[in-house]
A and B are shown apart, each in its own frame.
Chain A
Amino acid sequence: MKNKRRKGYAGYLYILPWVIGFFTLQLVPLINSFAYSFTSFSILGSPEFIGLENYRKIFTTDPDFLQSLAVTFRYVVMAVPVKLLFALLVALILNQEIKGIGLFRTLYYLPSILGGSVAISVLWKFLFMKDGIVNRFLSLLHLVPLDWLGNPRLSIWTIGLVTVWQFGSSMILFLAGLKQIPKVLYEAARIDGAGSMRIFWKITLPELTPILLFNLVMQTINAFQDFTPAFIITQGGPMKSTYLYGLMLYNQGFKYFKMGYASALSWVLFIIILFFTGLSLKSSSSWVHYGDTL
């Protein structure tokens, strides 16, 4: 196969648009934001070198930084695993011989299409406000209504539910993975008399780990940067309880136009994301199963 491919430099011509885009819109900006992070820079003036001052401020005097970081961690650590757990469970149920699987797949996937839009954030506000329909349901069930958006201990979970609600796309991936597990593995296990729990832990889950890794990495990267729901639904409040990192970055960069400081913040986030991505990928050799099927 391989040797039939065309050789020489013609291929460069086709990938040229990407090469230009990579240098001008990805690599150079990446380097620039690192360089800007050592400057004081408002969009009107020119950058002025101030050494590590931005980083010193972030880690010692900025009261928002630690708050925002804590909120973001809470959000990521809750939303991503719950979302993936839902996605996996529903995929497992759908993987049985279910009639109308196409319909269910479509319905569950629909929220992923709308997810980050302003319209859904508006809707969330209606659902979870004090006299919203979620509390209506709670009182119908004789449960105590909650202040979903006004209570600083609760608000970030309410925002996290927007993310969990969009489990459909990860579910589709799990479902595609489940379909690829060779039937013979299951047959062999049944002949050996393995029960269904044992089959799940010994066959299904190991075979799905590559997809689990992929979902985990991509969802974590995205969740660290989430913006719209917190911006629209709670504006980061109450008492900065939903002040996600993305909001802080937006405020510093595009509200106060402190481009140098915002660049430093973006690099701190970048390092955090790199750390988690690296951790997932590095640890994967011990928990991800690379069989010959995937």
Chain B
Amino acid sequence: MNKKHVVVSKAISYFLLIFLALVMLYPLLWMAGGALKSNNEIFGSINLLPKNPVFSAFQEGWGGSGQVSFGRFLANTFALVIPTVLFTVVSSVLVGYGFARFDFPFKRMIFTIMLSTMMLPATVVIIPRYIFFSRLGWLDTYLPFIVPAALGCYPFFTYLMVQFFRGLPMELDESAKMDGCNSAVILVRILLPLCKSAIFSVIIFQFVWTWNDFFNVLIYISSVIKYPVALGLRLSIDIVSSNVHWNSLLALSLVSIIPPVVLFFSAQKYFIEGIATTGMKN
């Protein structure tokens, strides 16, 4: 290949990359602009920026269902997501440590089972789980999200931690053991401080997935006062189709994606590392 050839193919590459980025991001930018547009302007125009920015959409939308405000939906989402994330971290660290640092009978088989549950379709267990949780009186609470997290039902994260622990030298454990530390102390004092980036990956992935989850909140949460944003937004679709304040629906959609987007931009390194170390998901 001569030099000219290289320059041309590079130029084509950049053109394709930029064009694709514009096409992909245009909808999101349009949503951001649309939230500031008047109701009429939404339908008429492909422009990203509103002619006369109005903030009324946010005020109208914020009222939520009339009785429950959108602020409450946001607060509910945090109340659901934060404990789910915390327990995911605890369980994946413990279980990951167990698999990575101990030898015990049937370990290979058990580990294979754990990995294969990654491929178990959620739909095939959802009905018995629902019945089980309803018998425990857990419907319309956040327990169907928190308890599975505490019991390591997200094998992806356990696998992520296993992979990370395996990358840490055994000599660390050895010397600590010589100093008389037991396995719990070794985990907490020696290994955990080194796991920060893996733990961070677990936190942000689980935060985003739980934040966006719609199917599970749809089946488990029934009272409006406990709705997270996913359900609040769906409620707003119904409200908007009667009062046709379409711009407020866009405004609420925008608000609902801000937390995951902010998290993504501030911690993208961990997303990319996390996904590349374990190789997974969506």
B249 CB within 8 Å of chain A: yes
Q: Assuming the A-B contacts A32-B128, A98-B17, A263-B127, are A172 and B134 also in contact, with contact meaning beta carbons closer than 8 angstroms in the complex?
A: no
Q: Give the distance to chain A from B263, nearest Cβ to Cβ, in Å.
A: 8
Chain B residue total in the interface (Cβ 8 A): 95
Q: Are B101 and A6 in contact (CB under 8 A)?
A: yes
Considering the complex, give the chain B residue whose CB is closest to the CB of A113: B264
Complex Cα gap A105–B275 (Å): 13
Question: For the complex, is B195 an interface residue (Cβ under 8 Å from A)?
Answer: no
A8, A18, A112: the one contacting B282 at CB < 8 Å is: A112
Additional 16 contacts, C-beta under 8 A, given A21-B91, A22-B113, A232-B237:
A11-B102, A15-B110, A21-B153, A29-B125, A93-B17, A94-B17, A108-B24, A110-B24, A117-B214, A126-B31, A136-B45, A137-B46, A165-B24, A166-B282, A173-B280, A269-B123
Give A contacts to B, CB under 8 Å: 1-2, 4-15, 17-22, 24-26, 28-30, 32-33, 36, 43, 90, 93-94, 96, 98, 104-120, 122-124, 126-127, 131-133, 136-137, 140, 165-166, 169, 172-173, 176, 211, 214, 217-218, 221-222, 224-225, 227-228, 231-232, 246, 249-250, 253-254, 259, 262-263, 266-267, 269-270, 273, 277
| Neighbour of A18 across the interface among B101, B114, B250, CB < 8 A | B114
Residues in B55-108 with C-beta less than 8 Å from chain A = 91, 94-95, 97-99, 101-105, 107
B271 interface contact, C-beta 8 A = yes
- Given A106-B268, A270-B124, A273-B121, A115 and B150 touching (CB < 8 A)? no
Report chain A residues within 8 Å CB of B261: 110, 113-114
CB of B212 closer than 8 Å to a CB of A: yes
What residue of chain A has the Cβ atom nearest to residue B96's Cβ?
A14
Contact A109 B97 (CB under 8 A): no
Once the chains bind, are B117 and A22 in contact (CB under 8 Å)?
A: yes
In the complex, what residues of A have CB within 8 A of residue B215's CB? 227-228, 246, 250
A-B contacts, 13 listed (Cβ < 8 Å): A4-B173, A10-B102, A15-B110, A26-B125, A36-B128, A93-B13, A108-B24, A112-B282, A124-B27, A133-B30, A166-B282, A218-B119, A269-B124
The reply to whether B129 and A123 contact each other, CB–CB distance below 8 Å, is: no
* Pairwise interchain contact B257-A14, C-beta atoms closer than 8 A: no
Assess whether A122 is in contact with B117, with CB atoms less than 8 Å apart: no
Binary contact track B232-263/A, C-beta < 8 Å → 1, others 0:
01100100000000100110111011001100
Chain B residues closer than 8 Å to A110, beta-carbon distance: 24-25, 28, 261, 264
Q: Is the interface of A mostly helix, strand, loop or mixed?
A: helix
Q: Which residues of A contact B183 (CB under 8 A)?
A: 6, 10, 14
Chain A residue, CB-CB nearest to B23:
A165
Q: What separation, in Å, do the CA atoms of A96 and B45 have in the docked complex?
A: 38
**Chain B residues packing against A (C-beta within 8 Å):** 10, 13-14, 16-17, 20-21, 24-25, 27-28, 30-31, 34, 42-43, 45-46, 91, 94-95, 97-99, 101-105, 107, 110, 113-114, 117-132, 134, 147-148, 150-153, 158, 170, 173-174, 183, 208, 211-215, 218-219, 229-230, 233-234, 237, 246, 249-250, 252-254, 256-257, 260-261, 264-265, 268, 271-272, 275-276, 279-282
